[in-house]
Structure 1
Amino acid sequence: MRIRAYRTSIILGFVSALLISAFWYTQQLAFIIFLSLLLNLLLNPLVDKLSRKLPRGLAAGLVMFFFLLAGTAILTLVSSNFLPTFTRFIREFPHIAAKLQDTWIVYGPSFLKDELDTLWESLRDASLDALKGSMTLMFSAFSKFIDMVIIFFVTFYLLKDGEKIKSYLAGLFPHQDNKRVMRLFNNILGALRIYICGQMAICCITATVVFLYFTIRNLPYASVFAVVSGVAEFIPVLGPTVASAFGVLLTATTSPLTALQTAGFYLVLTQVNHNLVMPNIIGKTLNLHPIAIILGVVLGGELLGAAGMFLAVPIIVICKLVIADIYLARQQDMEKMKTSRWLSKPTEEDRP
């Protein structure tokens, strides 16, 4: 095997492994880059349209400015309803857990009472700590002003000079492979854009539907369940399952019939999302098997916690596209070698 012929493939594999490992060793820097890339993928189509009439830098600045205004308005609107409800939910959660425990004791098998008592005590303490920790994390995210400013400027320069950066990176590879590397970059960015935009759309749809269901049914903590269900959609397969179980369990404190109806609602919502909404929004572009998604989410959770579960699918997409590119390049190289050998064989006329 000629190593020199496959140096581009080797470099691509090495760089991909290096970038993925950056999320483990330099998490803060990696997340700044990832969030900047995320915003770039979301806003770049708008900048492309505006840049036809305005200078690219001015178009990028205007899009970032209006994005910040819209984001601030949405955040203010959501927080005005969510934060008070979430605070009340944390304060009342021990009472909710105790009521749920009593409900299970009444309707559940008596021989499991002792084991369930211990389980509920542990679950109540762990859940309360987790909820408090999530609220602390939410407020600390707002306090990281410097990181937000860095993400803002990195996103601006990605929007302004993204094509130049891609061309520069592709130019670092052997000249004959420049087009191949540019095509790979575009494929990765295109797949990530489809996935991220699709997931955000599904997140908003799910949160809205859950909020309307809990509000119409006059169930408590509608905004909390809506946010939990919406955010959970960013963790494929496992996220919606956990959010559904969470909603069903806590509505069981109202009545078993309400819990059963809520279970049916979540079941219908999940099936509609996964069989109708997701295929139409994301389509078959990613072409990932559910087993690969589940294992990737579990592994990401083991390595990086909730952030790893969120990043699992984008990383799997990048690895899949890089491996497919390397495999295609090798197949093309082997075909060229076969063709050159066939042409080099002497024909009957050439033989003495």
Structure 2
Amino acid sequence: MVNKTWFQTGIALVLILIIILLFRQINDIFNPLVIVAKTVFLPLVLAGVLFYLTRPVVNWLEGKRLPRWASILSVFFLLVVTFWVLFSMIGPIVNEQGARLAKNTPQMVQVAEDAINYLMNQKERLPQFAIQSLEDAEGKVEDWAMAFGTWLINFLQGLLQTVFLTVLVPFFLFYMLKDREKFAPFLANFFSGHRRQWILRTLKDLDETLQSYIQGQLLVSFLVGTMLLIGYLIIGLDYSLILALIGMATNVIPFLGPYLAVTPALLVAWVQDPQMVIWVAIIMLIAQQIESNLISPNVMGKALDIHPLTVITLILAAGNIAGIWGVILAIPTYGILKTIVVNLYAERREIKDAATKDI
């Protein structure tokens, strides 16, 4: 029984739970480590994303017989120029649209309240479930606006902290690009024989999984944001650049991203011209259909091969556990775990087949 897979798996789970319980009992000892981990987490994630975006460029430059240090410095220079150009082009527009949006937010809140009051006056024409929803929402619009304002202030404070912390990003990125081939052998050296080969193969598969997801998801998000911007400019929607950037940012969240992106756009359209709500909905529908049927299948393919129901379940669960970071990291984390499990299963099948042949 000790050699059975289910028994070994059960023992491993019990040990993991015991370790977690012990950590919770003596968490004061690990508080400094937790603080350090939180401090470097975001810069490390950003550096990892930039690593997978810039590694192909570094490899291409090295293929042109450029030394590694020169290739890395060239990539850093390219990143600085790219960010400077983007900031110079869209910074003033975002600043101007953001100031107008902040100034007109009370008007939007008032319009939303008026819409709810109008619907409340039409109670007798509405089904019971709609009446109950309106009664729950009545009088809460202002509270929602205040909550959004508080969230925005916290977000801006966090953004300032992020800007301060991102000084670590170039440091992490430089060594990721410089020593990228050393990580896998370093870990594999703790093992020997067949297990060492399995570690190397698994790390290679993990690298390919992360590369496919990060490069594909960012490209898809950029294309979706571009389509939304073009559509919003065509219909003359106010704050088109900010709303398109919101759509680009939220698109990194599978399935839920489009709904998060269209909500502020619909509200702005309603305030500007109620008929424009229809055009915004049509633009979002067209963009998402193009993304889901043409762009994603060709850009990302079956990088993670996750069922849509699994994606929704993961996002909802991760959001409740870890908030926005849980929502963003749920899918790549699942992809990593899935890759490890698949490799473990393949390893056990190989061992079992080898044992059968020996018999």
Give the shorter-chain TM-score range.
Answer: 0.7 to 0.9
Partner of 2:55: 44
Partner of 1:334: 352
RMSD, aligned CA: 2.7
Partner of 2:27: none
- TM-score, length-scaled by structure 2: 0.83
Per-residue deviation at 1:109? 5.7
Q: For residues 126-146 of structure 1, what are the alpha-carbon distances to aligned partners after superposition, in whole Å with 9 as ceiling and x for unaligned?
A: 22222333333334322x1xx
The alpha-carbon distance between structure 1 residues 139 and 80, as it changes in their structure 2 partners (threshold 3 A), is farther
Matched, 1:301 2:331: no
Matched, 1:27 2:16: no
Per-residue deviation at 1:270? 1.3
Runs of 5+ in structure 2 lacking a partner?
A: 21-29, 124-130
2:235–2:279 contact (8 Å) kept in structure 1:
no
1:89–1:221 contact (8 Å) kept in structure 2:
yes
1:204 to 217, 222, 227: 222
- TM-score, length-scaled by structure 1: 0.84
Per-residue deviation at 1:75? 2.8
* Cα distance in 2 for residues equivalent to 1:42 and 1:173: 31
1:90–1:131 contact (8 Å) kept in structure 2:
no
Partner of 1:136: 157
The alpha-carbon distance between structure 1 residues 92 and 101, as it changes in their structure 2 partners (threshold 3 A), is same
Partner of 1:59: 71
Matched, 1:315 2:336: no
2:167 to 149, 168, 182: 149
Per-residue deviation at 1:48? 1.0
- Within-5 A mapping of 1:217-236: 217-236=235-254
Code of the aligned partner of 1:57: W
Runs of 5+ in structure 1 lacking a partner?
A: 342-352
The alpha-carbon distance between structure 1 residues 315 and 114, as it changes in their structure 2 partners (threshold 3 A), is closer
2:319–2:325 contact (8 Å) kept in structure 1:
yes
The alpha-carbon distance between structure 1 residues 28 and 295, as it changes in their structure 2 partners (threshold 3 A), is farther
What is the SS of the residue equivalent to 1:49? helix
Partner of 1:78: 90
Partner of 1:93: 105
Sequence identity (%): 22
> How many corresponding residue pairs?
326
Matched, 1:270 2:288: yes
1:106 to 105, 118, 121: 118
Partner of 1:279: 297
What is the SS of the residue equivalent to 1:173? coil
Matched, 1:260 2:278: yes
Structure 1 moving runs of 4+ over 6 Å: none
1:191–1:317 contact (8 Å) kept in structure 2:
yes
Matched, 1:119 2:140: yes
1:204–1:230 contact (8 Å) kept in structure 2:
yes
Partner of 1:244: 262
Q: Select the structure with the greater relative contact order (CA < 8 A; seq sep ≥ 6).
A: 1
What is the SS of the residue equivalent to 1:283? coil
1:90–1:128 contact (8 Å) kept in structure 2:
no
The alpha-carbon distance between structure 1 residues 320 and 36, as it changes in their structure 2 partners (threshold 3 A), is same
The alpha-carbon distance between structure 1 residues 132 and 87, as it changes in their structure 2 partners (threshold 3 A), is farther
